[in-house]
Structure 1
Amino acid sequence: MKGINQKPVLSVGVFMIILGVIGAVTFFSSRELFVSWALPDLETTLFVPVESPLPPTLRSPTPFPQLDLNQPLQPITGPQPQAWDGNRRVTILLMGLDARAGDPTSVPPRSDTLILFSFDPKTNTVGLLSIPRDLWVAIPGFGSGKVNTAYPLGEAYRADGGGAGLAMRTLETLLGIPIDYYALADFQLFARFIDEIGGVKLNVPEAVEISRVNEDGTKWILPGVQTLPGAEALAYVRARNTPGGDFDRVQRQQLMLLGIRDRVLNFNLIPTLIAKAPLLYGEFSDRIRTNLTANDLFKLALALQGVPSENIFLSAITLDDVTFYQSPEGLDVLLPLPERIRQARDEVFVLDDPLSPVQLGKPLDILIEEEAAKIAVFNGTTIPGRAALATEFLKAEAFNITLTDIADEIYPKTTLIDYTGNPNTVNFLVSFLNIDPQHILHAYNLESDLDIKIILGEDWRPNGE
């Protein structure tokens, strides 16, 4: 977490919200808008894919309803919000879509950028948390997958609220907080916006090799102060071929969008952008989506002007918050460490409730008792009685074992599945049972009868054996 001590910065969140405000300014003259891709016509129940295959067929475009000040700027299939009263905390999922010219419209784009934005009027604070796209999470109704696949899955399989709704629910279960709204734009709009403001001036910290979209060859962005046009700015924030990969890219995105903020304010471009709003929104209306209404967009934009710089917090999920993991399909992904993730959440969003229990200094046994996890133990070995033996050990440690049974197959490695988010219990069990961290799974399901499922593998040995 970092407080910004310079001029007010709203970074990526405000950039995305500005796009929404541009839309709000002009939607009065927009009587009917259309989505830029359609959803496949599936009659069966939701399929649970292994690596997010998407169906090839299309339906006809879904029209927007006739809009007024109190209707969200999205198709009728989008997640339905509650009106914002201007007083309660508002949390918005900001998404940048990887949609490129020439890509087939039959495949909804992935969310290449994910940032959680939160504004609390009571404390007058703003927080932004960047989320790496390779984070391996539970996607409700679809098992586990990279977090950036939630949006296209929701679009393709017509999940409740579409892709935005599924992405919101995915991050709600990961972070344990409600998400009220979303706002999204694709990268072609990003590049076009950069060109519209005359490029963006950056002090580039290190050389980065970029590859511009739909162009052959590469180019180096060298260290130093320079002004990048739209295509190069887009390539710069998307580059991954650096030692830190996606983590470096998050830093470049924040640098870029701080540069956008400076460009817009230093050159007093807001009046110009508002004057051009009808033209811009007419050109890119199918590339902006939000379930915020025009009224709420205006209220939010006005309220954000009063946030002092010291009340703005930027952060990201970093290497300290994840472990490297290879999925069952062989994908290199990032496995979240739940308590670390939620500590980052608490710090960035300065929640009204007390901070993470770990930050309050409570003893581990109290934290475990408060989680009160219901645990099932399954024998996945060829040795009879292993589950009963492990259950005896765990009950001696005062754990609540609600089920002991035999697994449906043999497991080479002991596996732990956390369904409801119990980081302290999980940490203790991993150490107590000597579980390989790569075999800790987070399949969040708040309706589950179990909180934690332990499947003993052939590698498990009782103490003293």
Structure 2
Amino acid sequence: VNKDAGYVTLLSIPRDLYVYLPGVKMGRINTADLVGKPFFPGGGPAYLEETILYNLGIPVDYYARINFDAFKAIVDTLGGIDVPVSCAIQDWRLKSPELDPQNADNWYLSTQDTGLIHMDGDLALWYARSRKNNTDFDRSRRQMQVLRAIFQRAKDLNFTDLTKIPALYEQFKDVVQTDIDIGAILRLAPMAVDLDTSRIHSYSINAAHVSSWTTPDNPPQNVLIPNPDAIAALLDKAFAAPEDQPEPIQVEVWNGTPNGDWLALALDNLRARGFAGVAGQADRQDYPAQVLYDFTNGDDTTARVNLQKLFGVKNENVIAQPDASAPHPYRIVLGADWNSCIYPVPPPKPTPTPGA
């Protein structure tokens, strides 16, 4: 959290990242809490902070930890959240939250289609935790989406109002384990009031920064070996000084289809790729395919190429139209053949018909 510059950086660390557990051994980063709990001053959370500092050089000021029930309660207290689901996912889900998870008959294969989906606490937890047919990296992406949606909903309901925070703190202090006190929360709250979600920057340690490896342990462990240079470059970008943070390139989005949710999905995809999406008004809703307008002078085509790839725009639908007076350097028009899923997620299989 950078109060002076007015932005927040989110960094996702994969649970299987193979790191040095200070003073003990090599191990997965998600074991640090358990390893440090019996001996480290401050217990598991403090030892995890020490592990992050040792391996990634990131000082951690505070921590917060909640269980599944508390997470669902927070989302439900907000009246649910709106999450842009750009890739359909499929996984097993309890038929009802109160059913016994040990009974196989209480589960069914659930599919969440794409769209701007309003989620209650149970659905949000399922969406954030699903691992079937996708990767842990994709799960990290979905968890960041959910965090953003929670923050946006809290702002929409004015829960960031200083006068409401003490009551919320009392409501959740017994289910949220944290070392941040009410005073620190109140000092940070004014920033939250004015913080636009475009000022929340998301980064993740993903497949580009690690290599898979199986340890020689008994039993062996599947872990992720850090690529030091790649991770250092990522962290330099994520935590650069405010004056070194480039402003994201703005892209106006027209939804040239009758699919109302597609605008939200396109804006979220742009944000995920480091662009700043701006909602525009399409002139019609019968575009058969995507159209990309480039209003720049064409000296640097990097952004154009990236946008063309991101939205699957055919070469003949890329229109160079230099215009120094254009409000935004690029415009993307969504067409009927747009595929919102830009992540390597296998499509859900048809749900089997009982008895078939």
Do the aligned partners of 2:162 and 2:186 also contact (CA within 8 Å) in 1?
Answer: no
Between the aligned partners of 1:273 and 1:318, the Cα distance in structure 2 is 40
- Aligned match of 2:340: none
- Aligned match of 1:170: 51
- Paired AA for residue 187 in structure 1: F
**Matched ranges for 1:51-200 at <5 A:** 119-155=1-37, 157-200=38-81
- Aligned match of 1:332: 222
1:255 and 2:145 correspond: yes
- Aligned match of 2:349: none
Give the SS at the match of 1:181.
Answer: coil
- Aligned match of 2:237: 347
Do the aligned partners of 1:181 and 1:291 also contact (CA within 8 Å) in 2?
Answer: yes
TM superposition shift of 1:307: 4.8
1:298 and 2:186 correspond: yes
- Aligned match of 1:321: 209
User: Is the alpha carbon distance of 1:307 and 1:132 closer, same or farther for their aligned partners in structure 2, counting shifts above 3 Å?
Assistant: same
Give the SS at the match of 1:350.
Answer: coil
**Matched ranges for 1:240-279 at <5 A:** 240-243=131-134, 245-270=135-160, 274=164, 277=167
Alpha-carbon displacement from aligned partner over 1:133-185 (angstroms, at most 9, x marks no partner): 11111111220111111112222x23122011110011001112322222222
- Aligned match of 2:275: none
1:217 and 2:107 correspond: yes
TM superposition shift of 1:302: 1.9
Alpha-carbon displacement from aligned partner over 1:39-98 (angstroms, at most 9, x marks no partner): xxxxxxxxxxxxxxxxxxxxxxxxxxxxxxxxxxxxxxxxxxxxxxxxxxxxxxxxxxxx
- What are the ranges of 5 or more consecutive residues in structure 2 without an aligned counterpart? 246-356
Between the aligned partners of 1:204 and 1:306, the Cα distance in structure 2 is 26
Q: TM-score, normalised by structure 2?
A: 0.58
Between the aligned partners of 1:293 and 1:302, the Cα distance in structure 2 is 16
TM superposition shift of 1:352: 7.8
- What are the ranges of 5 or more consecutive residues in structure 1 without an aligned counterpart? 1-118, 356-465
Between the aligned partners of 2:127 and 2:197, the Cα distance in structure 1 is 27
Q: Which moved more, 1:174-183 or 1:260-269?
A: 260-269
Give the SS at the match of 2:173.
Answer: helix
Q: Which moved more, 1:311-320 or 1:231-240?
A: 311-320
TM superposition shift of 1:289: 2.5
% same residue: 30
Do the aligned partners of 1:240 and 1:246 also contact (CA within 8 Å) in 2?
Answer: yes
- Aligned match of 2:354: none
Between the aligned partners of 2:77 and 2:183, the Cα distance in structure 1 is 26
User: Is the alpha carbon distance of 1:316 and 1:273 closer, same or farther for their aligned partners in structure 2, counting shifts above 3 Å?
Assistant: farther
Do the aligned partners of 2:161 and 2:193 also contact (CA within 8 Å) in 1?
Answer: no
1:234 and 2:122 correspond: no
Do the aligned partners of 1:159 and 1:165 also contact (CA within 8 Å) in 2?
Answer: yes
Give 4+ residue runs of structure 1 displaced > 6 Å after superposition.
352-355
TM superposition shift of 1:195: 1.4
Between the aligned partners of 1:334 and 1:176, the Cα distance in structure 2 is 18
User: Is the alpha carbon distance of 1:264 and 1:285 closer, same or farther for their aligned partners in structure 2, counting shifts above 3 Å?
Assistant: closer
User: Is the alpha carbon distance of 1:121 and 1:205 closer, same or farther for their aligned partners in structure 2, counting shifts above 3 Å?
Assistant: closer
Q: Which moved more, 1:195-204 or 1:328-337?
A: 195-204
Between the aligned partners of 1:262 and 1:297, the Cα distance in structure 2 is 17
- Paired AA for residue 220 in structure 1: T
Alpha-carbon displacement from aligned partner over 1:273-317 (angstroms, at most 9, x marks no partner): 938936x745x4333233233222211222344556654321111
Do the aligned partners of 1:126 and 1:349 also contact (CA within 8 Å) in 2?
Answer: no
- Paired AA for residue 20 in structure 2: A
Between the aligned partners of 1:348 and 1:231, the Cα distance in structure 2 is 31
Do the aligned partners of 2:160 and 2:189 also contact (CA within 8 Å) in 1?
Answer: no
User: Is the alpha carbon distance of 1:295 and 1:222 closer, same or farther for their aligned partners in structure 2, counting shifts above 3 Å?
Assistant: same
Alpha-carbon displacement from aligned partner over 1:419-455 (angstroms, at most 9, x marks no partner): xxxxxxxxxxxxxxxxxxxxxxxxxxxxxxxxxxxxx
TM superposition shift of 1:236: 1.0
Give the SS at the match of 2:211.
Answer: strand
TM superposition shift of 1:323: 0.3
- Paired AA for residue 196 in structure 1: T
TM superposition shift of 1:258: 2.2
- Paired AA for residue 336 in structure 1: P
- Paired AA for residue 299 in structure 1: R
TM superposition shift of 1:265: 2.8
Do the aligned partners of 1:135 and 1:146 also contact (CA within 8 Å) in 2?
Answer: yes
Between the aligned partners of 1:194 and 1:164, the Cα distance in structure 2 is 24
Do the aligned partners of 1:129 and 1:317 also contact (CA within 8 Å) in 2?
Answer: yes
TM superposition shift of 1:196: 1.5
Give the SS at the match of 1:226.
Answer: strand
User: Is the alpha carbon distance of 1:306 and 1:260 closer, same or farther for their aligned partners in structure 2, counting shifts above 3 Å?
Assistant: closer
Do the aligned partners of 1:242 and 1:248 also contact (CA within 8 Å) in 2?
Answer: no
Between the aligned partners of 2:165 and 2:5, the Cα distance in structure 1 is 33
User: Is the alpha carbon distance of 1:310 and 1:167 closer, same or farther for their aligned partners in structure 2, counting shifts above 3 Å?
Assistant: same
